[in-house]
Structure 1
Amino acid sequence: MAAPPPQTLVLNTLFSLVETFNDFLNVSIHTILYSRTLYRPHNFITTSKYNLPVQQNRHPQVCTWICRACSEVQTLLLKGILRCIFIVIYSQDAEVIERWVFDVDHFPVALEEDALTELNVLGVDKVSLVDVEEQLRATIQKLKYCGERMAALPENSTFTVMVELKDKADPPTGHLQPWVLSEPILDTEEKGNSTTTRADLGGVRRMHVRTVEAGLFRFKAWVEEGKTGPNDDR
């Protein structure tokens, strides 16, 4: 008797989509820290994700901070109130050098009580995990490529995670690492079919990373360079 064909791995709930993105965001932050040399290379170990060698910071406090930040992002994404996630790199004088952007404005939204309901019950197609991971693998590779081709950061640069909420969303409260309201640092404006960075808010160049579209699993990623930093003399 022939063995049944293997089942295709799928993401079949909103929670599984968000959890998969959360894992990706965690890997992305470590990749950015490594490729931008925010910590020395010997502070990283090589591990594997999406059948791809990736770097992970070995310091327990750094790993814990990143995990907590990603967990808080996951909470906001499940609530459907998140528009963008930013990995912001600062100089030692607190001037913005770069901003790595993950636009999740078109990520699926469902009622909180439906987060664990199968998507087909909600009238939505399931998402192939294989398709998603293929695109996430390519995105991680592009993040590393972009980071390594950019000019070196100034000494003692640092980073943080910031979020932009959708209109009329209440500010998040009650987290171990409370979010702090802030003014825009770099911003963009739409002009026809293109998006340009507003120079008056600090942006001087934008580099596209990748647009991920696998069924409901959708987001865009790019990096913006500010006036302050390694490329401000161009």
Structure 2
Amino acid sequence: MASLSLDQSHTLLNSFNSFLTVAIHNILYYRAVYPPQTFLSTRAYNLPVHQNRHPRVCTWIRDAVDAVAVQLAGGTVSRIAIVIHSPLHQSIPLTSRSPSLSPSPSPSPLLSSPTPSSSREPKKEIQPGTVLERWLIDVSSFPSWPDKSPSNPNHPHHPLSRLQPPAASRAKAMRDHGKMLARESRDEESRDRNLDTDEIAWADVDEQFRGALRRMAHAAEGMVSLPEGCSFTLAVELRDEVEGAAPIGHPQAWIPSEPKLQPRSKSKSVPGEDIGGSRTTPIRSVEAGPLFFECWVEESKAKEAWKSFHSETKETG
């Protein structure tokens, strides 16, 4: 694992934060977690991208990425997961007899009072909050920060000490994200002035980010539509060597994932049932100078069941 100077680690961390922010917004757009009219079209890394324009969404994503950055700087993260769940307060019926797939405030009579013929078979449905997709970034080979950089992000030598703290205003979150995208075209010039380009070729880093975002968009566009009303969250899987030092406490930026999403570890030989999924699609390996990470998407068994039902519905419709 490469070791970087403080200036390089700070710049690299900021660059990855920008990439992760753009990736989250893009995935939410292409997977239609929010309506398309709630997104703005813009550019990052000389590539058309999409940004959700709801202030609360922008604030949540920015704060989540900042929390991930703290863990990255501490060298504790193995993987970052953008997790898409089925609707949290409603099950999704997987039966062709259902007249509609749209969420409704109350169950239909057909589902609440099954006919004698349907009651002989178990009701097929996706339970509320079931994991459907996990978009993963493996950062286990991410460069290490200098040993003299304390783990406390408030310390002046910490790579995160120069990051702007979370803004109190929701509107400011949107402006911050817009400025971040606008800066991408100027970043290469400023980085080349301040850093040794023999060690980090920033043009290559941007090209790798652009390629990863393009492949993510292509993979997302090619997938079957998700059920309406899905939600998402951001999760991190910790390295084995930091097991037992999870970043949970007060103030509580993180909470433990449910058992289904707990990876294999020293104390847990079998991973949760939602880890790995039933289908894995590689997206891209990113390698530029000291930076290396891999991206892929996992689709769960519930997602496969939804795909089959969706396909059957289209054929009979």
The Cα of 1:155 is off from its aligned counterpart by: 1.2
Give the strand-richer structure, 1 or 2. Answer: 1
**How far apart, CA to CA, are the structure 2 residues paired with 1:228 and 1:112?**
46
Match status 1:219 vs 2:293 = yes
CA distance in 1 between counterparts of 2:273 and 2:260 reads: 11
Q: TM-score, normalised by structure 2?
A: 0.61
**Structure 1: gaps of 5 or more residues:** 1-10, 117-124, 189-197
SS in structure 2 at match of 1:209: strand
Structure with greater Cα Rg:
2
Give the alignment of 1:50-129 within 5 angstroms.
50-92=45-87, 93-110=128-145, 111=147, 113=149, 126-129=199-202
Alpha-carbon shift at residue 161 of structure 1 (Å)? 0.3
CA 1:112–1:205: 2 relative to 1, 3 Å: farther
Deviation of 1:173 after TM superposition, in Å, equals 3.9
| Separation in structure 2 between the aligned mates of residue 172 and residue 29 of structure 1, nearest angstrom | 22
Deviations along 1:119-148, one digit per CA (max 9) or x if unpaired, are xxxxxx621110000010011111111111
Q: Is the 8 A contact 1:79 1:112 kept in 2?
A: no
Q: Does 1:180 align with 2:255?
A: yes
Q: How many Å separate the matches in 1 of 2:214 and 2:252?
A: 30
Distance 1:23 1:175, change over 3 A: farther
The counterpart of 2:23, out of the listed 23, 28, 39, is 28
The 3-state SS of whatever aligns with 1:37 is: coil
Structure 1 residues 228 and 43, CA, compared in 2 at 3 Å: closer, same or farther?
same
Hey, what does 1:5 align to over in structure 2? none
Q: RMSD of aligned C-alpha atoms?
A: 2.5
Q: 1 CA distance for matches of 2:58 and 2:42?
A: 14
Match of 1:158 in 2: 231
Check conservation: 1:43, 1:58, Cα contact below 8 A: yes
SS of 1:89 mapped into structure 2: strand
Is the helix fraction higher in 1 or 2? 2
- Report how many aligned residue pairs link the two structures: 208
Corresponding residue for residue 206 of structure 1: 280
Cα deviation, residue 115, structure 1: 5.8
Select the residue among 148, 154, 171 that pairs with 2:246: 171
Change beyond 3 A, Cα 1:199–1:163:
closer
Go from structure 1 to structure 2 and tell me whether the alpha carbon gap of 1:112 and 1:28 turns closer, same or farther (over 3 Å shift).
Answer: farther
TM-score scaled by structure 1? Answer: 0.81
Q: Give unmatched runs, 5+ long, in structure 2.
A: 1-5, 88-127, 150-156, 160-197, 265-270, 312-317
Identity %: 41
